[in-house]
Copies of this chain bind each other. A is one copy, B any other.
Amino acid sequence: MAEEVVIAVDAMGGDDAPDVVLAGVAEALAHDATLRVELVGPKDVVEPFACATERCEARIATEVISMSEHPANAVKAKKDSSIVVGCNLVKSGEADGFFSAGSTGACLAAATLNIGRIKGVKRPALGVVIPAYQRPCLLMDVGANADCKPEYLRQFAIMGSIYMKQTHGIRSPRIGLLNIGEEETKGSLLAQEAYRLLSEGVSGFAGNCEGKGLLQGDFDVVVTDGFSGNICLKTIEGTAKMLFSYVKDALMATPLSKVGALLVRGNLAKLKGRINPDAFGATPLIGVKGVCMIGHGSSSATAIKNGVLASAREARAGVIKALTEAIQDDMNATKEGM
C-alpha cells in the first residue's frame, strides 16, 4: 500500500470551481486509498463536502484570488486566500503538497514567497511532462520566468533531470537545450551561453533539441526560458487541436468516409484521450521547498483528479529531498571547481 500523503487542494481554483474541483477530489480520494486531502476554501464550500467525505478535511480561507488579478499584488494583499492558505499548509508541514487550478501567476508567487525556494535555487520553474513519441519528456520552463539568464537554464537542467529520475524512474535522463539548430554555435546569445554551461558540467546533457525534435522522444528533459517554453507548449496544444478538427472534417467529407469514420471512431477517441492535456492534469513548479502543482484553468473533474493524484505521486517520490541534495552537491562542486 502506498505511503499516506496529505495534499492541500484549492477548492476555488479554475474556471468551473468549486464544482469540478469537488468532483475531482472525490474521484482522486476514491482512486487512492492512502491519500488525504486538506480542502481549502470558503466555509460553505469546504465544510459540507469534508463532512460527507472520508479522508478529507476542511480548511477555511475567506478570500479568493481571481484569474484577472495581478498575481504578486493579490498574494500580498489576500493573506487569507485559498492559494496562500494552501501554500502555508505545505510550509508548516501539515500538507505534503499543494494543488490548484487557479491563477498560475498567483500560485507561483505564493509558492515562492510562502513555501520558499530550495536553498541555492535561483529561479523555480514550471515543468510540463509532454507525451513525446514512446516516452515522456519534461519541458521546462513553460512560463514562470519569461526572461532567463544562462545559469537559470543550467539549473533547470539539473532540477529537471532529478525530477524525471524520481517521478518517472529514468536512471540517466538525456537533457536537451531547446534551440533553433542542432549545432552548438546556433541560437540566441542566451542559448549559446547556456549550451556552453550545460556542456561544461551537467551530466546527461546531450545537445540542442529543435522544436520539431521535442516530440520525437530523443530527450527526457528539455530546458528553455519561460517565454520560448510557453510558446512551444501552447503551439503543441494548438496544433493538435487544429489537426483533430481537420481530421474530423476529412472523415465527414464524403458518404464513404463517414462509414469509415464509424469504424475508426473508437481508436481515434482513445488516441485523443492519450494526448489530451486533461490526462496530465497539472504542471509541477520545480525548485520550491514543497510539492506544488498547477492545473489548467479550464480543468475538468478528470483533470483535477489527475492533478491531485500527480501531486500525491510527486510527494511520495521524494522529489524535494532529492532536489535539495542535487542543488547542494552542484553548489559544492562549483565551489571546488573555482
Contact = CB atoms under 8 A, between A and B. Distances in A.
Contacts of A262: 260
Contact of A256 (B178, B233, B263): B263
A15 to B, nearest CB: 15
A238 interface: yes
Given A211-B237, A264-B261, A245 B180 contact: no
Contacts of A251: 264, 267-268
A18 interface: no
A246 B132 CA distance: 11
B234 A236 contact: no
A133 B133 CA distance: 26
Contact of A247 (B216, B224, B271): B271
A264 B262 CA distance: 10
B260 A264 contact: yes
Interface in A245-287: 245-247, 249-251, 253-254, 256-257, 259-264, 266-268, 270-271, 275
A274 to B, nearest CB: 8
Contacts of A239: 215, 235-236, 239-240, 243
A239 B213 CA distance: 9
A49 interface: no
A260 B251 CA distance: 10
A51 interface: no
A250 B270 CA distance: 8
A243 B241 contact: no
A138 to B, nearest CB: 16
A287 B275 CA distance: 40
A249 B173 CA distance: 27
Given A232-B231, A235-B236, A263-B256, A146 B250 contact: no
A214 B237 CA distance: 11
SS of A interface (majority): helix
A106 to B, nearest CB: 14
Name the interface size band of chain A.
35 or more
Given A178-B231, A215-B238, A238-B214, A257 B250 contact: no
Contact of A235 (B188, B235, B271): B235
Contact of A211 (B188, B224, B232, B275): B232
Contact of A264 (B147, B214, B250): B250
Nearest to A266: B257
A184 interface: no
A253 B291 CA distance: 39
A304 interface: no
A335 interface: no
A171 interface: no
Contact of A250 (B212, B232, B234, B271): B271
